[in-house]
Amino acid sequence: MALKICDHCSRAYLDGGEEEKTPLCPDCAEYLEALYRQAWTWLRDHSSADGRLRRVTSARLAEELGVDVKSIEVLVKMDRIQTSASASKKASGKDLETLKALRRGLPGGGRERRGRR
Ligand SMILES: [Zn+2]
């Protein structure tokens, strides 16, 4: 028997001794197993409809399933499901473009409207 810290809920639990890559307490192992089926079904349904959705971010998947993003991340860490990390990079690039466009759209200099009531 060995004392381990659950990767999902951070609680200490006693385990039979096998060395696991991602330690999970019995409660979380059960919860994540159910969540995995849910996630898998969602990914399957949505990837068949539209190939572009085959890879979604952990955050998106968590939102779709109505669960904590941490739960999805643990599943990803366990190599149970795959999510895209590059999508968030793409989004921030888009934000930067939006910011640039906003800056261009600003009137030059801090011209204030004074004396108008
Ligand atoms: Zn746990």
Kindly tell me if the per-residue pLDDT of 47 is higher than 60.
yes
Centre of ligand 1 to C-alpha 19, Å, is 16
String of DSSP letters for 16-58:
-S---SS---HHHHHHHHHHHHHHHHHHHHHHHH-GGGGS--H
Q: Would you state the pLDDT for residue 103?
A: 65
Mean pLDDT of 2-31: 91
Q: Would you state the pLDDT for residue 113?
A: 59
Centre of ligand 1 to C-alpha 54, Å, is 28
Kindly tell me if the per-residue pLDDT of 43 is higher than 50.
yes
Q: Would you state the pLDDT for residue 107?
A: 60
Asked if 43 and 36 touch (Cβ cutoff 8 Å), the reply is no
Question: Which residues sit with Cβ closer than 5 angstroms to ligand 1, an ion?
Answer: 6, 8-9, 25, 28
Centre of ligand 1 to C-alpha 47, Å, is 30
**Domain ranges for the chain:** 24-88
Centre of ligand 1 to C-alpha 59, Å, is 20
Q: Would you state the pLDDT for residue 100?
A: 64
Centre of ligand 1 to C-alpha 17, Å, is 16
- 56-115 tens-digit pLDDT: 889 999 999 999 999 999 999 998 888 775 444 444 445 555 656 666 666 655 555 566
